[in-house]
Structure 1
Amino acid sequence: MDEKNRPFDERFNSAVHQAADKLDRESEKLIAYINDEVVPAVREHSSRGLRVAAEKLAKFADFMDQQKDAPDEKKT
């Protein structure tokens, strides 16, 4: 039977089924991409950011120690 001659509900059901199958395939690709590419990149950049922040905090702590140990300069 020609596609145009099939009843509307059969054509509709077929189209919905094809769309659902494609959505399933594309969802699997998206999940694989997130797991393989996005998650490792976020982890890498997060740890790098924490290391930079730790370095900056250490420098700030050193600065605070230097200020605490420096003699007070009073303006007159």
Structure 2
Amino acid sequence: MDEQRKSGFENFGRRVDDKVNEALPRIEEELKRIIAYLNDEVVPDVRRNSLKAMRIASTKLTELADRWEHGNR
């Protein structure tokens, strides 16, 4: 009975392995598309928004420093 279970498990493992190997090229292509999308669409927007946020923060920090410098807390 143990041999039968072992054989069944090995066959299952082989089938899973075969399915994964069949799917790998498609998975790799999809990952390439996702990476390209992130690089082309998401990263530029994040950079733009980050730069805008840093400029706003810089302005606010300058205003705060000016108020402190003039004693108007």
TM-score category, normalised to shorter length: 0.5 to 0.7
TM-score normalized with structure 2 length: 0.68
- Deviating above 2 A after TM superposition, structure 1's stretches of 4 or more consecutive aligned residues are 15-18
- CA radius of gyration, larger in: 1
**Bigger RCO (CA 8 Å, 6+ sep):** 1
Q: How many residues are matched?
A: 60
2:24 to 11, 20, 25: 20
2:34 to 26, 30, 37: 30
CA RMSD of the aligned region, Å? Answer: 2.3
Percent identity over paired residues: 37
The yes-or-no answer on 1:48 pairing with 2:68 is no
Higher helix fraction (1 or 2): 2
Cα distance between partner residues in 2 of 1:30 and 1:21: 14
Q: Unpaired segments of 5 or more residues in structure 1?
A: 1-7, 69-76
Q: Secondary structure, in 3 states, of the residue corresponding to 1:36?
A: helix
TM-score normalized with structure 1 length: 0.65
